[in-house]
């Protein structure tokens, strides 16, 4: 899908109807919106921020073309909208300021990870696409970190393109999985676009193309003499392993894609070892997730690599991140107002905020969410930094490898209870006294 | 993400390593692959085919550029690959034949919905991206049809862009939801690209921008005098309803996004009716799915429209469709061979196949999967038709509205047991006697 030039329309219609209403009302307030996650996906107790690079690219590129404007002008909702608004769209650029947690940052519920301030129309229109970008990659980076943790040091390769939610989703899932700790992906485009290492062996169809498994292995080895990799489970895994070791060439790896991966990996390892092929790696795939990998590595199955597809790229056990983007402050005619929503179960915390993290002896102790102009609590570091000012990038975006390294090192500072595979524990997060007081008073007096 | 020109690399690396091995072995077989779904997502007993249009566009466009080839040439897996293969990629075009079920077709497990025949390298390389396209849209069209059924005639609007798996996923989900029976989407880009009706009102942030809810409603009504739509649950839903009816303008609709939607819709309906605003519609949203909508419509909640987001665009109760693409036949030097895989629990059925549907008194009775050269069973119609011959489209692709209409009419011919919200029932599908015999004999003698 070629939607690059059409990214301005990648938004919910209500963002544009609101924009028209703001325009009609000469609404020139400066608004601040914050993106945060209200609750964890199932069994999670932390998240890993991802998607900021695509979010910033989007903010830099958003532009309404004449064809877009023509489309809107004819839309039934816009028939009564005055020409001035379309003229406004014609000149639209994102000119706001953005603060964000760098990709790879470990964060918790209710912490703002992205803060957008600017003319209210601009800050509003970008809501939908920012959420779509950040929610998905954060979901997958977080899931990947769980899978990688369950692998206990063995390499995990993202394998899920065919079950991802479309080709772009596959590409972004590969990126987010890499941030979350995967060593690479099967997705060639992710290698090409993002420099992520790509992995691949052969499919069952290659074996089935030839009259015998031996013939198929032989032919593959001839094409890749230095590093042939064989898929063993097309017909019978152990027979295939015996064939593989009898070819006179040491495979770089063998892959098992079905059956009882624990007992098969042990038996295949023995066949390889008995044939003196101790450096041949065992690569296991097929509907794996953090729960099944945890069992395999706990039992010390002799597996060197895991390929994880569907379960990773769809975050199958909980496939949506409930990130939201809420108005928290408004500056109109020089006066600042804090904003809250008090819908049942959906209270928001007012004001532009910063998150201060206290780390002691290398471990995360507590995060304090405070107003952005509060004095930081002692011995803390702020998690949000300025990334865009008046629509321009003001920082070097970290490389993908730097983001991956950040996630790795932050996860090491995360106490074990938060990294548990099962159940979620309360986020180590508090509001500053001043923020709590402000929130209480606004919640009580929510405007009608 | 601008990946249009790079779509050739949207594939798993093993497709390309196999291609290189086929090339090195002068493998010029004509292969037939079939795409089918082995098992239903949770609680489903039928599926709706979707994504064919994007699949065919992909097959028409796939092309390796010099930059792609340079990337592959430097890839560690390809260092020993000879120049001839890169030259082959440089001239690569998809020249195969494709048969498919039209979008909107109701189908069952194990039925081929797409069949690709052509030179084996071509048919192999396209596997990953075809699966990614067809799996996702089929998953969402099928989910949408459940949600629409639960709405019992009330309109369902797809609302999920912000929680979709990235912006392209949001766009494709809107398309698939429309095929599955939604009346439209909130996604403006889906309206622009596919002509899908788009819907939108206002967000909580619009209300929060002004000092009072009344002021916000007033200002919105001034911008949209003929069709103002008000969101009621920013602070207190019933207070907001009273405010909405006191403005002297009849809203086209009001939206409830949180709280007990059953009792709130009844109370809001009464407030509207008491104010003589009987034609104001009630639009309900907020974490809805087919299960909760079923409860609301069973109890006759006075709701006119449902907006369904996260649960629909991620198919949240089961977010992956296990569509696979398997080699079923191979023609080499004029000789045809049927192909099967016998991995544990993953047997495949050999041969290029057709699906014949028997409909009686307007209802689907049974599908027979037969070899494509078998005589059709009496009183059946074939479900797969030729869509591409030697890489060229040979049919007019139905419009999106035609595909949506096909789904609607096919669902009407689907017996109620298959449309149940809970549990899945056995697919009404059998193999023809000849196909069953062929499969049995190949499974027994699976090649080693």
What mean pLDDT is predicted for residues A376-401? 97
Of A38, A62, A32, the closest CA to residue A126 belongs to A62
The predicted structure's pLDDT at residue B269 = 98
Judged against a pLDDT cut of 90, whether residue A340 lies above it is answered with: no
Q: Exposed, middle or buried by CB within 10 Å (0-12, 13-18, 19+), for A238?
A: middle
Better pLDDT: A226 or B383:
B383
Better pLDDT: A208 or A447:
A208
What mean pLDDT is predicted for residues A76-85? 93
Residue B164 carries which DSSP code? S
Tell me the pLDDT tens digit for each residue of A31-41: 999 999 999 99
The predicted structure's pLDDT at residue A1 = 54
Judged against a pLDDT cut of 70, whether residue A447 lies above it is answered with: no
What mean pLDDT is predicted for residues B230-253? 94
Picking from B50, B165, B177 by the largest number of A CB atoms within 10 A of its own CB, the best residue to mutate is B165
Judged against a pLDDT cut of 50, whether residue A386 lies above it is answered with: yes
Angle of helix B167-179 versus helix A167-179 axis, rounded to 10: 140
What is the rounded CA–CA span in Å between residue A440 and residue A231?
Answer: 61
Closest Cα in chain A to B68: A192
Report A:185-214 residues touching B (Cβ under 8 A).
Answer: 186-189, 191-193, 198-206, 208-209, 211-214
In the structure, what pLDDT confidence band is assigned to residue B1 with cuts at 50, 70 and 90? low
What is the rounded CA–CA span in Å between residue A397 and residue A366?
Answer: 27
Q: How far apart are the first and last CA of chain A?
A: 44
On whether any CB of chain A is under 8 Å from the CB of B15, the answer is yes
The predicted structure's pLDDT at residue A448 = 45
Asked which of A47-51, A278-282, A298-302, A343-347 is least confident by mean pLDDT, the reply is A343-347
Tell me the pLDDT tens digit for each residue of A244-292: 999 989 999 999 999 999 999 999 999 999 999 999 999 999 999 999 9
Report B:213-252 residues touching A (Cβ under 8 A).
Answer: 213-214, 219-220, 222-227, 233-236, 239, 243
Of B130, B125, B134, B131, the closest CA to residue B68 belongs to B125
What is the rounded CA–CA span in Å between residue B164 and residue B171?
Answer: 9
CATH class of B4-140+321-351+384-444: alpha beta
The predicted structure's pLDDT at residue B2 = 57
On whether any CB of chain A is under 8 Å from the CB of B430, the answer is no
On whether any CB of chain A is under 8 Å from the CB of B341, the answer is yes
Judged against a pLDDT cut of 80, whether residue A224 lies above it is answered with: yes
CB contacts of A330 in chain B (<8 Å) are 208-209
Phi, psi of B420 (to 5 degrees): -60, 150
Tell me the pLDDT tens digit for each residue of B348-374: 899 999 999 999 999 999 999 999 999
Contact A166 B165 (CB under 8 A): yes
Judged against a pLDDT cut of 70, whether residue B147 lies above it is answered with: yes
Q: Looking at domain B147-313, what is its CATH homologous superfamily?
A: Aldolase class I (3.20.20.70)
Tell me the pLDDT tens digit for each residue of B303-321: 999 999 999 999 999 999 9
**In this complex, how many residue pairs, one in chain A and one in chain B, have their CB atoms less than 8 Å apart?**
400
**Helix, strand or coil, per DSSP, at residue A430:** strand
Phi, psi of B405 (to 5 degrees): -65, -40
Helical H segments across B91-187, by residue range: 120-125, 127-150, 167-179
Task: Please state which CATH number belongs to domain A4-139+321-354+383-444.
Answer: 3.20.140.10
What is the rounded CA–CA span in Å between residue A376 and residue A357?
Answer: 9
Q: Exposed, middle or buried by CB within 10 Å (0-12, 13-18, 19+), for B245?
A: buried
Q: Dihedral through CA B401, CA B403, CA B407, CA B410, nearest 10?
A: 110
The predicted structure's pLDDT at residue B177 = 98
Contact predicate A19/A124, CB 8 Å: yes
DSSP output for A106-143: EE-TT--SEEEEEEHHHHHHTHHHHHHHHHHHHHHHHH
The predicted structure's pLDDT at residue B447 = 52
Give kind and range of the element (H or E) at residue B281.
strand B281-284
Question: Distance (Å) from the C-alpha of residue A433 to the closest C-alpha of chain B?
Answer: 24
Contact B209 A22 (CB under 8 A): yes
What is the rounded CA–CA span in Å between residue A156 and residue B360?
Answer: 52
Judged against a pLDDT cut of 60, whether residue A203 lies above it is answered with: yes
The predicted structure's pLDDT at residue A316 = 98
Contact A163 B135 (CB under 8 A): yes
E-strand ranges in B159-265 read: 184-185, 229-231, 253-256
Tell me the pLDDT tens digit for each residue of A129-182: 999 999 999 999 999 999 999 999 999 999 999 999 999 999 999 999 999 999
Picking from A51, A166, A177, A327 by the largest number of B CB atoms within 10 A of its own CB, the best residue to mutate is A166
| Cβ neighbours of residue A203 closer than 8 Å, sequence gap 6 or more | A231, B14, B15, B18, B124, B127
Judged against a pLDDT cut of 50, whether residue A342 lies above it is answered with: yes
**Share of residues in chain B with pLDDT > 90 (%):** 89
Q: Does domain A141-313 have CATH number 3.40.50.720?
A: no
CB contacts of B203 in chain A (<8 Å) are 14-15, 18, 124, 127
What average pLDDT is seen over chain A?
95
The two structure tokens encoding residue B437? 């015999």
The predicted structure's pLDDT at residue A2 = 58
Contact predicate A342/A444, CB 8 Å: no
The predicted structure's pLDDT at residue A236 = 93
**Residue A281's Cα: distance from chain center in Å?**
29
What is the rounded CA–CA span in Å between residue B192 and residue B284?
Answer: 25
What mean pLDDT is predicted for residues B429-443? 94
Tell me the pLDDT tens digit for each residue of B42-93: 999 999 999 999 999 999 999 999 999 999 999 999 998 999 999 999 999 9
Contact B316 A319 (CB under 8 A): yes
Q: Exposed, middle or buried by CB within 10 Å (0-12, 13-18, 19+), for B223?
A: buried
CB contacts of B162 in chain A (<8 Å) are 12, 127-128, 131-132, 135, 323, 325
**Residue B42's Cα: distance from chain center in Å?**
16
The predicted structure's pLDDT at residue B448 = 45
Phi, psi of A110 (to 5 degrees): 70, 0
The predicted structure's pLDDT at residue B288 = 97
Could you tell me the residue ranges of all domains in chain A? 4-139+321-354+383-444, 141-313
Q: Exposed, middle or buried by CB within 10 Å (0-12, 13-18, 19+), for B407?
A: buried
Measured between CB atoms, which of B71, B159, B208 is closest to A192? B71
In the structure, what pLDDT confidence band is assigned to residue B227 with cuts at 50, 70 and 90? confident
């Amino acid at each position: 899908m070629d939607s690059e030039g059409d990214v301005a329309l990648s938004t919910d219609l209500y963002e544009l109807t609101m924009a028209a209403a703001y325009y009609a009302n000469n609404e020139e307030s400066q608004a601040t919106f914050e993106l945060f996650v209200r609750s964890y996906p199932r069994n999670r107790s932390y998240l890993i921020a991802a998607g900021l690079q695509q979010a910033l690219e989007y903010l830099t590129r958003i532009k309404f073309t004449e064809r877009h404007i023509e489309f809107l002008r004819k839309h039934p909702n816009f028939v009564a909208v005055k020409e001035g608004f379309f003229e406004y769209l014609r000149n639209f650029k994102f000119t706001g300021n953005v603060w964000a947690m760098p990709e790879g940052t470990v964060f918790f519920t209710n912490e703002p990870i992205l803060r957008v301030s600017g003319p209210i129309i601009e800050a509003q229109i970008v809501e939908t696409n920012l959420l779509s970008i950040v929610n998905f990659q954060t979901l997958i980076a977080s899931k990947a970190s769980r899978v990688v943790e369950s692998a206990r040091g063995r390499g995990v390769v993202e394998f899920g393109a065919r079950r991802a939610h479309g080709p772009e989703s596959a590409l972004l899932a590969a990126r987010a999985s890499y941030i979350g700790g995967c060593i690479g992906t099967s997705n060639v485009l992710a290698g090409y676009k993002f420099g992520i290492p790509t992995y691949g062996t052969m499919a069952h169809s290659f074996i089935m193309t030839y009259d015998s498994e031996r013939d198929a292995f032989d032919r593959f080895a001839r094409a890749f003499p230095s590093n042939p990799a064989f898929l063993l489970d097309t017909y019978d895994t152990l027979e295939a392993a015996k064939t593989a070791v009898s070819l006179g060439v040491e495979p770089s790896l063998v892959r098992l894609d079905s059956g009882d991966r624990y007992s098969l990996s042990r038996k295949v390892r023995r066949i390889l070892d008995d044939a003196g092929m101790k450096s041949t790696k065992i690569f296991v795939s097929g509907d794996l997730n953090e729960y099944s990998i945890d069992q395999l590595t706990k039992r010390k199955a002799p597996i060197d690599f895991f390929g994880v597809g569907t379960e990773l790229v769809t975050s199958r056990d909980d496939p949506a991140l409930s990130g939201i983007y809420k108005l928290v402050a408004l500056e109109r005619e020089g006066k600042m107002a804090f904003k809250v929503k008090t819908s049942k179960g959906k209270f928001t915390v007012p004001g532009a905020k910063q998150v201060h993290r206290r780390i002691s002896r290398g471990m995360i102790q507590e995060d304090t969410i405070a107003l952005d102009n509060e004095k930081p609590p002692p011995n803390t570091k702020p998690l949000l930094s300025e990334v865009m000012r008046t629509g321009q990038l003001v920082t070097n975006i970290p490389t993908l490898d730097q983001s991956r390294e950040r996630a790795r090192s932050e996860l090491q500072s995360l106490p074990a209870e938060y990294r548990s595979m099962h159940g979620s524990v309360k986020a180590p997060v508090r509001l500053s006294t001043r923020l709590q007081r402000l929130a209480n008073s606004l919640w009580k007096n929510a405007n009608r």
